[in-house]
Chains A and B, each alone.
Chain A
Amino acid sequence: GIQVEQSPPDLILQEGANSTLRCNFSDSVNNLQWFHQNPWGQLINLFYIPSGTKQNGRLSATTVATERYSLLYISSSQTTDSGVYFCAVRGGSYIPTFGRGTSLIVHP
C-alpha cells in the first residue's frame, strides 16, 4: 500500500508564528486530505487537495502530485490551532492511509 510520512512529528510555537507541515507519499494518489484532530478527538476536514493550492483564512495547502508531497501552511498561529494534524491519501485501490500526524502546541 501507499506509505505516508509526515514531518515534523512535533512542533511547538508561540502565538503569532507561522509554520509549514509536510506530507510525503510513496505513490500516485487520487485523493488527499488534511485533517485537524482537536483535543476531544474530533477529526475536522481542513482541505481536500489531490493537487493544486487552496486557501481558507489563515490556512493554506499545496499538493504537488507529480513530486508526491503536500504542504500545509499555518500563518499567525493561535492557541486554538493546537492539536494533531493528519494527512490522509487514497490511491488507485481506494484504500485510505493516514500519516502518523504532526502534533502542534501553540503557546500564548
Chain B
Amino acid sequence: ETGVTQSPTHLIKTRGQQVTLRCSSQSGHNTVSWYQQALGQGPQFIFQYYREEENGRGNFPPRFSGLQFPNYSSELNVNALELDDSALYLCASSSDRDQPQHFGDGTRLSIL
C-alpha cells in the first residue's frame, strides 16, 4: 500500500476521443510523475510536476498535458486519442524531486 491512488482502473475509448486520468498523491508529496507503459516495455516518462509547475517532460507530443493541484493531486489529459495510446498509465509521487517514488496501481487504457 503506497498511498497513491489512480482512477479509473480501466478505461475504453475510441480513436479521436479525449481522456482524463487522475492521481491522488501520498500525503505531503509535492512531486508527481506520469509514465506510459506499453505491453512488454518499461515505463516511459511523460512529464513531472513539482509544486504545481511542470518540471520536465519526456518525448511525448503536446496532446499529452497535465495539471497538479494545490493539494498535489494530479491529472493527465490526452487529446485526439490514437491506437498507440493503448497502455498502462502509471502515476508516482515523492516527497521531493530527489526522493523515492511511490507508484499507484495504474490505469489501463484501451483505444478501439
Question: A residues near B, CB below 8 A?
Answer: 30-31, 33, 35, 40-43, 45, 48, 84, 86, 88, 90, 93-101
Contacts and interface: CB of A to CB of B under 8 A. Distances in A.
Interface of B: 2, 33, 35, 37, 41-45, 48, 50, 55-56, 58, 88, 90, 92, 97-103, 105-106, 108
B99 A31 contact: yes
Contact of B105 (A30, A41, A101): A41
A94 B48 contact: yes
Contacts of B97: 90, 94
B55 A88 contact: no
Q: Which 7 A-B residue pairings sit nearest by Cβ, starting from the closest?
A: A48-B100, A94-B97, A43-B103, A95-B56, A30-B98, A98-B42, A31-B98
A45 B100 contact: yes
27 contacts: A31-B100, A33-B100, A41-B105, A41-B106, A41-B108, A42-B105, A42-B106, A43-B43, A43-B90, A43-B92, A48-B99, A88-B101, A90-B97, A90-B98, A94-B56, A94-B97, A94-B98, A95-B48, A95-B56, A95-B58, A96-B33, A96-B48, A97-B45, A98-B42, A99-B42, A100-B41, A101-B42
B85 to A, nearest CB: 17
Given A41-B106, A95-B56, 20 more contacts: A31-B98, A31-B99, A41-B37, A41-B105, A42-B103, A42-B106, A43-B90, A43-B92, A43-B103, A45-B100, A84-B42, A86-B42, A90-B98, A94-B97, A94-B98, A95-B58, A96-B101, A98-B35, A98-B42, A101-B42
A98 B43 contact: yes
A86 B48 CA distance: 19
A100 B103 CA distance: 17
A96 B98 contact: no
A48 B103 CA distance: 13
A98 B45 contact: yes
Contacts of B103: 35, 42-43, 45
**Most central of B45, B50, B56, B100 by chain A CB within 10 Å:** B100
